Structure 1
Amino acid sequence: MKESISNVYIGLGSNLDEPTKQLKVALSTLAKLPATELISHSSFYSSKPVGPQDQPDFVNAVAQLKTTLSPEALLQQLQTIERNQGRIKKRHWGERTIDLDILMFGNQTINTPELTVPHKEISNRDFVLKPMLELEPTLALPNGTSLLSLLQSCPDNQLHLCSGP
């Protein structure tokens, strides 16, 4: 049986320890994952934090992967990358060296205790929607909702392009 190849979008975010560098390291590591190919990544964007405002601004990007890994296996790989880059969860929506989220996994809808796909906050995150649309302007959720329509009603996180990834 031929393994199924899924088109996957990963959200990357950092606001500690040279955030741009943290995103570059994570992208480099994503490119080396087993049974996975890094297809592309968006520009880097700066945004105000969601949640506690007493933390630095974030640098965000989205990576597009093709993988034969299962969603659960990919999640484990992402959590390993986060640990290896020194992520320690201090508080909900708090500062972090790196955050890697599965935003979309093919056309799948997943709702388990460990993983929700599409990402449950996708419609509230311009720093996710704009980079995803940069990669694929006609992208839609599995239910058919276009990301462009979500972006038009999304809260403003004062998003702006960073100077080069």
Structure 2
Amino acid sequence: MNKVYLSLGTNMGEREQNLQLAVQLLKEKPHVTVKTISSIYETAPVGYVDQPAFLNIALEIETSHPAMDMLKICQSVENELGRVREIRWGPRIIDLDILLYNNDNIETEQLIVPHPRMFERAFVLVPLLEMANGFQTPQVERAKSSLESMDLAGEGITKWKTLNSVEEFLREE
């Protein structure tokens, strides 16, 4: 089984519901098991800042799918929820990114793992490290080190809701 960590974010419409729908769609995919979910964090936009705040979570997934198939699954969930790419780093109904895939380093035209900007973004690292504390890899250690060097007060990230389990999160609908 492959251990995959994903980052999910949304800042359009019913943000929490968008996250719930994305998690539910992932759970329904064959050979994908959503194991753990982080708390929900509200974060200020990065890059293109003239947009609403985001809600972000991280997920731990176990799957028999290879990395490129997981990318296609993530993109299919985005498409099912109506993701449109108009402005780089702009508003979005949902965004799914593969952060880590086992301890692999992957670099293709379509996919780079670890995610190329994850070590620069508190909105990715905080939920990931909340959830991945038992996963010891050089990539996770680098994430911890990156987060320790950040000024979290200036990063615009706050815990929005504590989540205890995937099942509890999906029952809230």
TM-score (norm 1): 0.91
Most deviating of 121-130 and 148-157: 148-157
Q: 2:131 aligns with which of 113, 129, 135?
A: 135
1:68 maps to 2:67? no
Following superposition, the deviation at residue 143 of structure 1 comes to 5.4
Q: Which residue of 1 aligns with 2:74?
A: 78
Q: Deviations over 1:89-147 (max 9, x none)?
A: 11111110000000000010000000000000011111111111111225455457432
Q: Which amino acid aligns with 2:82?
A: G
Q: Which amino acid aligns with 2:109?
A: P
Q: How does 1:13-24 map to 2 (within 5 A)?
A: 13-24=9-20
Q: What stretches of structure 1 move > 4 A for 4+ residues in a row?
A: 138-144
Q: Which amino acid aligns with 2:55?
A: V
Q: Which amino acid aligns with 1:82?
A: E
Q: Which residue of 1 aligns with 2:37?
A: 41
For the aligned residue pairs, the C-alpha RMSD in angstroms reads: 1.6
Following superposition, the deviation at residue 154 of structure 1 comes to 3.3
Q: Which residue of 1 aligns with 2:5?
A: 9
Query: Gapped runs of 5+ residues in structure 2?
Result: 163-168
> Partners of 1:74 and 1:131 in 2: how far apart?
20
Instruction: Report the structure, 1 or 2, having the larger helix content.
Output: 2
Q: Which amino acid aligns with 1:157?
A: E
Q: Which amino acid aligns with 2:128?
A: M
CA contact 1:139–1:147 (8 Å) conserved in 2: no
Q: 2:159 aligns with which of 152, 158, 161?
A: 161
Query: Gapped runs of 5+ residues in structure 1?
Result: none
Aligned length: 161
Following superposition, the deviation at residue 57 of structure 1 comes to 0.4
Could you say if the C-alpha distance between residues 103 and 144 of structure 1 is closer, same or farther in structure 2, counting changes exceeding 3 Å?
A: closer
Could you say if the C-alpha distance between residues 8 and 160 of structure 1 is closer, same or farther in structure 2, counting changes exceeding 3 Å?
A: same
Give aligned-pair identity as a percent: 34
Following superposition, the deviation at residue 159 of structure 1 comes to 0.5
Q: 2:87 aligns with which of 79, 87, 91?
A: 91
Following superposition, the deviation at residue 17 of structure 1 comes to 1.2
Q: 1:121 aligns with which of 104, 110, 117?
A: 117
Q: Which amino acid aligns with 1:24?
A: Q
TM-score (norm 2): 0.87
Following superposition, the deviation at residue 158 of structure 1 comes to 1.0
